[in-house]
C-alpha cells in the first residue's frame, strides 16, 4: 500500500536491515548522480541524499556514492527497472529495482512471486490500479499545529493532507513534489520521509489468513533483495507488521 505501516514499524524494519538499506540508498544516489553531482541543481539527488541521511547513512558513504554516479570513482553501473504482477489473493504488486544484471533480477522476481502463490505479469498489467503521488511524511508531535501545517502545505501547492495516528502525510502532484517538499522544510517542519510513490486507486482486502501470510513472506523476500528499491501493493492490510 502507499503507506508502509506505522512510523515505529518502518523504523524497526530499517534498523533490523541497516546494511541492506544502506546498499539500496547508495544505489539510488549513484543513479541520481548520473544527472549531476550537485544536489542544489539535481532534485532527484537531493531527495536520495535526504532519505539516506534520514536512516543515518554516514557522509562518507553518501559522498562515495555520488562520486561513483558522476564517474569520479569506478564501480558497477545500475539501471532502473519495474516489475508488475499479482501476489496471493490477486493483490496487485509493483516492484521498482536498480540492477546491474537484468537477467538475475528478473529470475529473482519470478521466484519470489511463484514461491508465495503469485505470478509475475507483463509491464502495465497492474499499474493502471495505481496513481503516482508525491508523499511527504511528518511525524506527529505535540508541538505541531495540524491546521498550520495544512495551511503551509496547501499554500506551497499540495493537493491534500491526511492525518494518521502517528504522522501527517502531505500529498502532491508528481511535478510539484520538490517545490512543496522544499517549502515544508523551509517552514521549519522536519520531514521524516518524502518521495514520489505509487498510491493505489483500486484496493484489495484479502481475508484469508494463508493469503495474508504469503503476501507478507513475499514482501519480505522482495525487500531482502539488494536490487529492490520499493515494493507497492494495493492491499489495505498492513503487510509490514
How far is Cα 69 from Cα 193, in angstroms, rounded to an integer? 23
Q: What is the pLDDT of residues 222-240, one digit of tens each?
A: 999 999 999 999 999 988 8
How far is Cα 236 from Cα 123, in angstroms, rounded to an integer? 23
Instruction: Enter the C-alpha cell of residue 92.
Output: 496487485
| CA dihedral for 197, 201, 202, 208, sign (positive or negative) | positive
Residue pair 215/116 in contact (Cβ under 8 Å)? The answer is yes
> Model's pTM, two decimal places?
0.86
Domains in the chain (CATH in brackets) are 7-70 (1.10.10.200), 79-128+202-233 (3.30.70.980), 129-200 (3.30.70.980)
3-state DSSP assignment of residue 178: helix
Local confidence band at 9 (pLDDT 50, 70, 90 cut-offs): low
Residue pair 47/172 in contact (Cβ under 8 Å)? The answer is no
Residue pair 3/164 in contact (Cβ under 8 Å)? The answer is yes
Q: What angle do CA 79, 81, 82 make, to 5 degrees?
A: 170
| Confidence (pLDDT) at 151 | 95
Choose among 237, 195, 167, 236: nearest CA to 6: 167
14, 54, 92, 144, 205 from 88: Cα distances, Å: 25, 33, 9, 40, 11
Local confidence band at 14 (pLDDT 50, 70, 90 cut-offs): low
**The residue to which cell 521549519 is assigned:** 188
Q: What is the mean pLDDT of residues 128-146?
A: 95
Q: What is the pLDDT of residues 71-114, one digit of tens each?
A: 998 877 899 999 999 999 999 999 999 999 999 999 999 999 99
* pLDDT reading at 124 higher than 50: yes
3-state DSSP assignment of residue 53: helix
Q: What is the pLDDT of residues 154-211, one digit of tens each?
A: 999 999 999 998 999 999 999 999 999 999 999 999 998 899 999 999 999 999 999 9
Amino acid at each position: 500500500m502507499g503507506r508502509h505501516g506505522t512510523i515505529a514499524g518502518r523504523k524497526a524494519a530499517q534498523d533490523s536491515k541497516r546494511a541492506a538499506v544502506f546498499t539500496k540508498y547508495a544505489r539510488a544516489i549513484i543513479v541520481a548522480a548520473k544527472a549531476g553531482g550537485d544536489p542544489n541543481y539535481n532534485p532527484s539527488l537531493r531527495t536520495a541524499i535526504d532519505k539516506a541521511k534520514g536512516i543515518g547513512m554516514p557522509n562518507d558513504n553518501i559522498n562515495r556514492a555520488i562520486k561513483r554516479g558522476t564517474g569520479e570513482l569506478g564501480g558497477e553501473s545500475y539501471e532502473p527497472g519495474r516489475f508488475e504482477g499479482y501476489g496471493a489473493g490477486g493483490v496487485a504488486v509493483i516492484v521498482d529495482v536498480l540492477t546491474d544484471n537484468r537477467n538475475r533480477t528478473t529470475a529473482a522476481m519470478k521466484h519470489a512471486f511463484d514461491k508465495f502463490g503469485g505470478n509475475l505479469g507483463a509491464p502495465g498489467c497492474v499499474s493502471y490500479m495505481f496513481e503516482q503521488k508525491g508523499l511527504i511524511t511528518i511525524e506527529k508531535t505535540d508541538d505541531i499545529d495540524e491546521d498550520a501545517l495544512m495551511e503551509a502545505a496547501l499554500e506551497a501547492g499540495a493537493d491534500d493532507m491526511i492525518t494518521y495516528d502517528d504522522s501527517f502525510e502531505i500529498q502532491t502532484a508528481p511535478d510539484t513534489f520538490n517545490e512543496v517538499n522544499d517549502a515544508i522544510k523551509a517552514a521549519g517542519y522536519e520531514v521524516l520521509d518524502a518521495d514520489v510513490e505509487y498510491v493505489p486507486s483500486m484496493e484489495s482486502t484479502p481475508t484469508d489468513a494463508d493469503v495474508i501470510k504469503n503476501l507478507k513472506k513475499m514482501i519480505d523476500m522482495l525487500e531482502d533483495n539488494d536490487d529492490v528499491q520499493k515494493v507497492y501493493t494495493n492491499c489495505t492490510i498492513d503487510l509490514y507488521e
